[in-house]
Amino acid sequence: MKSGDKLWYMIRGKIKTPILNTKEACLYLGISRATLARYMKSGDIPYIKLAGAVRFYESDILKFLDSKRISIKDSPSALVAPSTV
């Protein structure tokens, strides 16, 4: 996010949680709005609606990213250089 952008917070219990709008979530993840919509529809990325506007908790976005992490032990081929023909 740019330094001048607003960052919204919602108080969850005693913790302030950053809230992202759709555009900010797309920028954060580096994906298009259509891809974000697919993740929302499939339930991969939870969202909330506030006064008709879609919002995302930053913590949910981070959990989504962690769920996509591939460990080296799960994918040993990630370390192998592609063969040249």
> How does pLDDT run across 4-41, given as a tens digit for each residue?
455 555 555 555 678 899 999 999 999 999 999 999 99
Query: Which residues are registered as beta bridge partners of 16?
Result: 11
Tell me what the mean pLDDT of segment 61-68 comes to.
94
The structure tokens listed for 3 are 């330094």
Note the CATH architecture for domain 1-61: Orthogonal Bundle (1.10)
Note the helical H segments in the chain: 22-29, 33-42, 58-67
Is the pLDDT at 77 greater than 80? The verdict is no
